[in-house]
Amino acid sequence: MACSHFRVAVVDDDESVRKALARLLRASGYEVEVFVGGGEFLDSLKAGKSDCVVLDVHMPMVSGLSVQEMLRASGEYVPIIFMTAYDDDTLREEALAKGAVAYLRKPLTEKTLLTAIAKVANTKN
């Protein structure tokens, strides 16, 4: 069981994905916040920092890669686990080279996602 004080942000423009991931993560013992888009997530950082973000690559307005760039430019460090339904070797390499913890293909398996989050949680302890 995960540490209940470990906060995971889920950022995806698809409501069904947000709900499913939030349900899974809460059942696994994590605190979860969900966000419709990258801009909303970035705005939330003013109120408190997430320990990890599960971030969709392709979203309207502010993409996941743009969120990663904005976090880097601001000096904020939030471990990023990218997820995407449109796998692209170039984007994957770019995201990982810029510090993403993982780059996962949708549909995600529970084990793959929970393993990636546990990797981040274990480095925080």
Tens-binned pLDDT, residue by residue, of the chain (125 aa): 455 589 999 999 999 999 999 999 999 999 999 999 999 999 998 777 899 999 999 999 999 999 999 999 988 889 999 999 988 899 999 999 999 999 999 999 999 999 999 999 988 76
Residue spans per domain, the chain: 7-124
Instruction: Give the integer Cα–Cα distance in Å for 57 and 34.
Output: 15
Task: Kindly list the distances between the CA atom of residue 107 and the CA atoms of 6, 31, 48, 71, 81, in Å, as whole numbers in the listed order.
Answer: 24, 22, 29, 26, 14
Phi and psi angles of residue 102, each rounded to the nearest 5 degrees, phi first: -155, 160
Instruction: Give the integer Cα–Cα distance in Å for 20 and 10.
Output: 10
| Per-residue pLDDT at 48 | 77
Q: Give the DSSP H/E element, type plus range, for residue 80.
A: strand 80-84
Instruction: Give the integer Cα–Cα distance in Å for 18 and 90.
Output: 26
Residues 6+ apart with CB under 8 A from 115: none
Enter the DSSP assignment of 108. P
CA 41 centroid distance within chain: 10
Three-state secondary structure call for residue 88: coil
Q: Please tell me the pTM assigned to this model.
A: 0.92
Class of domain 7-124: alpha beta
